[in-house]
Structure 1
Amino acid sequence: MKSRSLGSRWFDALNVAFLAMVGIVCILPFLHVLAKSLSDQASVMANKVSFYPIGMNLSAFEFVITKSRYMEALEVTLFVTIVGTILSMTITIMAAYPLSKPEFRGRKLIVLLYVFSMLFYGGIIPGYILMKGLGLLDTVWAMIIPLLVVPFNLFVCKTFFEGLPESIEESAKMDGASNLRILVSILLPISLPVVATLGIFYAVGYWNNYFHPLIYINAVDLKPLQIYLYDTISNTEDVLTQQPEDVRLRLSSEGLRAATVIATILPILLVYPFLQKYFVHGLTVGSVKG
């Protein structure tokens, strides 16, 4: 094997060093917030906390989990994320499969409509009027229906189906399999990478959705984690003043905000590392064909 030149090795070393620095810079804010959430009140108020906890204290997390709306908001977000992802994946796959077939009548027009929806948006007021007319205000469906189909995800799925060998379907049709049977029993099992990728895209989208709940949800018991996070950060002082004196002595506003942020992102953060590889694969799939 031909040895690499000294310049190439130096270039690789500089790349690794640069990317390592960028990674450290990206993770430092998270470590700072985490350290604040685990530190005692005096250290946080004195601005002594940097990237590691001082005077380990779990009072902020205990308050967030047991004495706030965190668990209610988490239940709403989990429901919206799980149900929304399942419905979105079902509709996206069912729409992408026929659109991947050149012989499908009206294919170009339907694709054009999806492209049009990617480029133009009706606006906030028409969307609100539509949701009100459908009777979906203050329901969980107001947080699910607007995100049911993301055109980009549909095109990624369509592109993947177009890249599959036609011989697979032809042999199944010769055995008498219907199109639905081919999709469910043959194509989906070999399409797990793109299915996982789009599932992550939809799940993260539903989990982080802030815009639609803010507009369509007024009922306190239906507000998801993102609205709960905003309300807590905006009204931390008011929340603390309503607590008994012993609670106020153990908590600081900054520590409570930090604990709320960590508790809000922790569930999706625990899942993401196991599925991260599918993000890159999904972007690669979407760039193979038009």
Structure 2
Amino acid sequence: MKSAVKISWGERCFAVFNYCFFIIMGCTTLLPFVNLIAKSMSSEEAVISGNVGLLPVGIQFETYKYVLQDSMFLSSLKTSVLLTIIGTTLSLTLTTLTAYPLSKVRLRGRKWILLMFVFTMLFSGGLIPTYLLMQNLNLVNTLGVLFLPAMVNVFNMLIIKNYFEGLPDSLEESAKLDGAGNIRILIHIMLPLSLPVMATIALFFAVAFWNDFFAAMIYITNPELKPLQLYLKELIVSSSGDFLKNNVDAAINMTPQSIQASSILLATLPILLVYPFLQKYFVKGVLVGSVKG
């Protein structure tokens, strides 16, 4: 029997260093989040005095109750959920329909079409012309302005295109011999085989739409259409007295800092719940879709 491979002293030191380094980096990213949780659950006196670290002091849940009863928070949450669902569905559909024909070498003018798409990644019309275009299209202060301009993401389209190019051509040829058309091949053959990259790109789109506040800050002035991230932005930058001005009783055992922390955590929770279901496809989808260029 062959003896086990011996690990040198240098390799052991390197492994220990890697473990320590990544543990430290992991804690660095988690500690602010833990501190946020502690602040959202701590009493008014503890937050004001700065005694809250990684554990809550004087546990209370009134801040969560206050935030969940806030009509503006609920309205913004509804807008963000609708935006994420509609935007992700339409963007993934149109991006896939764009990537599939561009993955075929037989497509006439394929290189020039790809060049036009890549050109938009490097250059744009600018913020003011884009705003004037949205205004002329009567999209300002509508939900559509938050997802229609982002229907086809070129970077995500290239990843899907590269994934399609990696699938065997014999599958499509066999399907055509059986009388299948291009749409049927895409739906019944290509998409089931492309589940990893589709889940990855769907996660990309969902996170982008959920976290986007800049487009809403530019195009949305109607409070009922403001997404959750814009609500949080205004919540954080507004003065301390604005938080509790509509609820005198809420001032008991609560601070603006704890309300900010509770709002941020509640806004982060939905997207965190989605990620575990798509995590197993994430790495495989990105790596396979990025091999070919």
Range of TM-score over shorter length: over 0.9
Superposition pairs for residues 1-290 of structure 1, below 5 Å? Answer: 1-235=4-238, 237-290=240-293
- What is the CA distance between 1:283 and its match in structure 2? 2.7
Give the conservation status (yes or no) of the 8 Å contact 1:147–1:206.
no
* Alpha-carbon distance in 1 for matches of 2:223, 2:243: 19
Q: Which amino acid aligns with 1:163?
A: G
* Alpha-carbon distance in 2 for matches of 1:2, 1:240: 63
Q: Which amino acid aligns with 2:21?
A: F
Aligned length: 290
Q: Which moves more between the two structures, 271-280 or 58-67?
A: 271-280
* Alpha-carbon distance in 1 for matches of 2:259, 2:178: 63
Q: Which amino acid aligns with 1:81?
A: T
Cα distance change on mapping 1:219 and 1:243 into 2, 3 Å: closer
* Alpha-carbon distance in 1 for matches of 2:247, 2:84: 35
Task: Say which SS state the counterpart of residue 53 (structure 1) adopts.
Answer: coil
Q: Which moves more between the two structures, 244-253 or 175-184?
A: 244-253
Task: Say which SS state the counterpart of residue 194 (structure 2) adopts.
Answer: helix
Unaligned runs of 5+ in 2: none
* Alpha-carbon distance in 1 for matches of 2:152, 2:130: 15
TM-score by length of 1: 0.96
Give the conservation status (yes or no) of the 8 Å contact 1:236–1:256.
no
* Alpha-carbon distance in 2 for matches of 1:278, 1:272: 10
* Alpha-carbon distance in 2 for matches of 1:182, 1:133: 39
- What is the CA distance between 1:153 and its match in structure 2? 0.1
Unaligned runs of 5+ in 1: none
- What is the CA distance between 1:276 and its match in structure 2? 2.8
Identical-residue share of aligned pairs (%): 44
Task: Say which SS state the counterpart of residue 158 (structure 1) adopts.
Answer: helix
- What is the CA distance between 1:6 and its match in structure 2? 2.5
* Alpha-carbon distance in 1 for matches of 2:264, 2:143: 23
- What is the CA distance between 1:99 and its match in structure 2? 0.2
Give the conservation status (yes or no) of the 8 Å contact 2:101–2:107.
yes
TM-score by length of 2: 0.96
CA RMSD, aligned part only? 1.3
* Alpha-carbon distance in 2 for matches of 1:182, 1:86: 20
- Output one character per residue of 1:207-241: Cα deviation in whole Å (capped at 9) or x when no partner: 01111101111100000001110111122523345
Task: Say which SS state the counterpart of residue 252 (structure 2) adopts.
Answer: helix
